[in-house]
């Protein structure tokens, strides 16, 4: 399979989607279950309110997260699909980075 440009490469597309640590950590929190904004702040620890707001807005616009009328943020089906990547990253860490 010839991938050609970066925009045609599936690995580049997913890497772009998850291009920062906060995005993956937010998705990890939400794949464990719905959370309110303040619960996410507590779960993530040292994230600023502004950063969390920006990341959630971006994740919602990408269709990975949905904000419900109740104020809960939930992973969409598309967002929950990232769980397999999370599990692979944990396995890699356990095997090679500990």
Give yes or no for residue 68 having a pLDDT over 90: yes
Q: What is the pLDDT of residue 5?
A: 66
- The overall average pLDDT reported for the chain is 92
Give yes or no for residue 1 having a pLDDT over 80: no
The structure tokens 């990408």 sit at 62
Q: What dihedral do alpha carbons 97, 40, 54, 25 form, nearest 10°?
A: 20
Average pLDDT over residues 54-62: 97
Nearest alpha carbon to residue 33 among 70, 80, 69, 78: 80
Q: What domains can be seen in the chain, in order of their start residue?
A: 7-97 (1.10.10.10)
Give yes or no for residue 2 having a pLDDT over 70: no
Q: What is the pLDDT of residue 9?
A: 87
User: What is the rounded CA–CA span in Å between residue 75 and residue 30?
Assistant: 5
pLDDT tens track for 10-24 = 888 888 888 889 999
Average pLDDT over residues 62-87: 96
């Amino acid at each position: 399979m010839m991938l050609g440009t970066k925009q045609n490469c599936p690995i580049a597309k997913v890497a772009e989607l998850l291009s920062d640590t906060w995005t993956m950590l937010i998705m990890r929190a939400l794949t464990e279950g719905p959370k309110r904004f303040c619960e996410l702040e507590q779960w993530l620890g040292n994230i600023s309110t502004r950063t969390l707001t920006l990341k959630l807005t971006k994740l919602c616009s990408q269709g990975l997260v949905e904000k419900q009328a109740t104020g809960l943020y939930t992973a969409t089906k598309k967002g929950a699909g990232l769980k397999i990547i999370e599990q692979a990253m944990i396995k890699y860490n356990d095997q090679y980075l500990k």
